[in-house]
Structure 1
Amino acid sequence: MTTVLPTRFAPAERAESDVLLKQASMFKGNPLVSLLDSVTDLIMILNSYRQIVYANRNLLHLLDMQDAREIIGMRPGELFSCEHAGCVPGGCGTSEFCRNCGAVKVIMCALGNGRTEDECRLTQRKGDAIYAYDLKVVGSPVFLEGERYVTFAITDMSHEKRRRALERIFFHDILNTAGGLRNLARMVLEEVPLKLKDETLLLHKFSSELVDEIMAQRVLLAAENEELSVDPQSLRPGEVLRTVCELYASHEVGEGRRISVEESLCDVAFISDPTLLKRVLANLVKNALEATPRGGEIRLGYSVGERELLFHVWNASVIPAESRSAIFQRSFSTKGVGRGLGTYSIKLLATNYLKGDVFFTTSETAGTRFTVRLPMNLAQLAAA
């Protein structure tokens, strides 16, 4: 027999204590328990009334408990002192606020035989104080001896959420500052006396490079967090290469080195994201310039296939054999500690966002040639 209570969302009824104890005993010595005890997430098993009948070792350790007897029969929101769990007689899942709770939605979906995951923002109340958490929750249906249960996993994402929020604030503020410095240098450049022209040009140059480096880091972080948007536009490969060439013609890394753009007879239109593509090619050009001694040359070019477009960047140096297999790995670099995001970001942007690929050939006789292979129409792939 169950107790009937009012609810604004999920059913409020609960199992009787003898049924709970029987259900909890089913998981003692169960092979599933050994598996759940070995993972680092917080995991509980809930019955069809959303009540806890098992908690894994990591969850018990967090609660400073030896076994789960103290929490058997509780619901997740009650266990973690959710501020809404105690505001109605039915408890966790039955208030009007629970309609927007990712945890309750996940549990209800799993009780309906669907595995799902969501985010849950929990406000915990302890005495007169409140604490906010951002959680990732996953629910999966489990059937045991004819009864339905839910494995409910919780991962605390609070630190990650705060880090991302701080990153957004940081990039917003520092770009405003660096952009203001660059704009000021541009204004001063128009009015400065001739004898200070060279110094002002350097100020404008370095401030522009600073803005570009900050933008590159922001794009990389957004790409890794899968927060980067793609804006396909109609482009001409020759124009793209000339823009990248002009960018590094006056760059410090290009001093004393020549950049040539190979002419092509097939300057067709293609569709891609101009900002991301130029960043990919610019990173390749920068790497090629850094690998080229003063007086040397790098070459840019492209070729057109039936359904693909290939950009290439060549320099005369050779990549050491021991470095070739790791060239696109994150944080790997031949330039020392603290480097290595350039080729990784090239691969990340080209593969995940431009829907293409990057590869290279290198030898003592032919030098090193990086190739970016792209679809002719990114918009079609994005739509598919």
Structure 2
Amino acid sequence: MHLDKSRGPASCKRLPQSEVERQSALFLDTALSGALESMPLPVVVLNTCRQVVYSNSGFGDFVQRISSGSILGRRPGEVLGCVNSGIGPGGCGTSEFCGYCGAVRAILDSLRGRTGVQECHIQYKGENREDSLDVLTFCSPLTFKNEEFVQFMLIDVSADKRLKTMERLFFHDLMNTASGVYSLITHLERQKLTDESRRYVEMLRSSSCQLIGEIADYRSFMAMESNELIPNPLLLNSGQMLEDILAVYRNHVLADEKTIVVDQKGGAFTFEADPILFKRVLGNMVKNALEATRKGGKIKVETALKGKQAIFAVYSSSYILPSVGCHIFKRFFSTKGAGRGLGTYSMKVLIERYMGGKVRFSSSKKDGTCFTVQIPAGDLCQ
């Protein structure tokens, strides 16, 4: 038993190994151990001194890559090879660094009778190398055979953490490169060019704007899916918003030999929305309509202010079958092949979750298809 005073959030006290083995025997061949063994996640049971008295095979397989030897009687950080578990006088939970450990906090919450859920970053020393581990820990109080324990379960989220970090770096570098290309094109526009060359530069500028928009769109989509997206609503002008969208799509390959008609009923008006997110929604509506329109055809974009509601509608002559229409806003559903199906889904989520509006569509053989977005215009708008 450790008698030294803890420098961390938890007690140094440990039960003798003989007592740990007695507690461990309580779980042998019981319905509870059978249930824990069948769980697909690593699970251990800790006593009130935070020592392992039971572990399922999933936990044994998980820690085998980090350390070998007996798990029984050791604390989670010691089993996982945490570099701080050997600093404190009583091992895991007793160093000054352990106060920042999510796993320790979750365990202590459960010892106080509450369910604890915490994320934890562990720097560990394995048998051959030093590495890091990110886990999500779930702890809950457990009373078994009139004794108090803690059920400790973890999920390895290291791959997700690394993927998110790589995505942030990738998008940052990719956006810098695309912005650099755009700057070069802007510089070219200031030079003396022939009419033909200037036309090509304008096409390059349009493509560059589209590329930057696609990168920003995908980055915001990833943030939206992980509930990390934070909208930044500003006062916008409907006429300018349309002009910005159409400047991209009038020169788009999808608009070749097609006409875009604009009808601003009652004239331009102001409304509140995040400009980047709303451009993504309206751009997707225009793009989808162009994709569905044959050469020689036209699409129509309408805007209107009705009371305190801003209305944006995009019409095309195409017809959506009912068997397709019932799936139109589902994630990854597309009639255009694998790897598609985020456009209409993200439109609905962005408008309804982040802008407090509504997205709907109608389609008939006679009138074609219309996608409509309706959002609150805001008190300052007119």
TM-score above 0.5, yes or no:
yes
Q: CA deviation at 1:83?
A: 0.8
Report the TM-score, using the length of structure 1 for normalisation. 0.88
Question: In the alignment, is the contact (CA less than 8 A) between 1:245 and 1:261 conserved in 2?
Answer: no
Corresponding residue number in structure 2 for 1:136: 136
Question: In the alignment, is the contact (CA less than 8 A) between 1:232 and 1:378 conserved in 2?
Answer: no
Question: In the alignment, is the contact (CA less than 8 A) between 2:238 and 2:268 conserved in 1?
Answer: yes
CA distance in 2 between partners of 1:81 and 1:17 (Å): 20
Corresponding residue number in structure 1 for 2:353: 352
1:284-319 deviation per Cα after TM superposition (whole angstroms, max 9, x unaligned): 111111111122222223455666544322211112
CA distance in 2 between partners of 1:8 and 1:377 (Å): 54
Corresponding residue number in structure 1 for 2:205: 204
C-alpha distance 37-346 of structure 1, shift in aligned 2 (>3 A)? farther
Identity within the alignment, %: 35
1:189-231 deviation per Cα after TM superposition (whole angstroms, max 9, x unaligned): 2214315222322222222222222222222122222222211
Segment drifting more, 94-103 vs 332-341:
332-341
Corresponding residue number in structure 1 for 2:219: 218
CA distance in 2 between partners of 1:189 and 1:237 (Å): 28
Corresponding position: 1:193 with 2:188:
no
Question: In the alignment, is the contact (CA less than 8 A) between 1:134 and 1:158 conserved in 2?
Answer: yes
Segment drifting more, 261-270 vs 86-95:
261-270
Corresponding residue number in structure 2 for 1:107: 107
Question: In the alignment, is the contact (CA less than 8 A) between 1:24 and 1:54 conserved in 2?
Answer: yes
Corresponding residue number in structure 1 for 2:315: 314
SS in 1 for 2:108: helix
Structure 2's unaligned 5+ residue stretches are: none
Corresponding residue number in structure 2 for 1:363: 364
CA distance in 2 between partners of 1:296 and 1:229 (Å): 38
Segment drifting more, 40-49 vs 256-265:
256-265
C-alpha distance 327-37 of structure 1, shift in aligned 2 (>3 A)? farther
SS in 1 for 2:264: coil
C-alpha distance 307-190 of structure 1, shift in aligned 2 (>3 A)? closer
CA distance in 1 between partners of 2:151 and 2:15 (Å): 18
CA distance in 2 between partners of 1:236 and 1:184 (Å): 29
CA distance in 1 between partners of 2:245 and 2:208 (Å): 18
Q: CA deviation at 1:276?
A: 0.8
Corresponding residue number in structure 2 for 1:265: 266
CA distance in 2 between partners of 1:103 and 1:296 (Å): 62
C-alpha distance 303-256 of structure 1, shift in aligned 2 (>3 A)? same
SS in 1 for 2:330: coil
CA distance in 1 between partners of 2:186 and 2:111 (Å): 63
Question: How many pairs are equivalent?
Answer: 376
CA distance in 2 between partners of 1:179 and 1:280 (Å): 22
CA distance in 1 between partners of 2:317 and 2:204 (Å): 32
SS in 2 for 1:124: strand
Question: In the alignment, is the contact (CA less than 8 A) between 1:355 and 1:378 conserved in 2?
Answer: no
Question: In the alignment, is the contact (CA less than 8 A) between 2:206 and 2:247 conserved in 1?
Answer: no
SS in 2 for 1:326: coil
SS in 2 for 1:140: strand
CA distance in 2 between partners of 1:103 and 1:261 (Å): 58
Question: In the alignment, is the contact (CA less than 8 A) between 2:264 and 2:304 conserved in 1?
Answer: no
CA distance in 2 between partners of 1:149 and 1:21 (Å): 14
Q: CA deviation at 1:235?
A: 3.2
Q: How does 1:21-100 map to 2 (within 5 A)?
A: 21-63=21-63, 70-100=70-100
CA distance in 2 between partners of 1:191 and 1:73 (Å): 76
CA distance in 2 between partners of 1:260 and 1:311 (Å): 13
User: How large is the Cα RMSD of the aligned pairs?
Assistant: 2.7
Structure 1's unaligned 5+ residue stretches are: 380-384
Corresponding residue number in structure 2 for 1:382: none
Q: CA deviation at 1:96?
A: 0.7
Segment drifting more, 340-349 vs 162-171:
340-349
C-alpha distance 212-270 of structure 1, shift in aligned 2 (>3 A)? closer
CA distance in 2 between partners of 1:15 and 1:377 (Å): 64
Segment drifting more, 264-273 vs 107-116:
264-273
Q: CA deviation at 1:81?
A: 1.0
Q: CA deviation at 1:321?
A: 3.0
Q: How does 1:223-372 map to 2 (within 5 A)?
A: 223-265=224-266, 269-302=270-303, 308-372=309-373
Q: CA deviation at 1:338?
A: 2.6
Q: CA deviation at 1:79?
A: 0.5
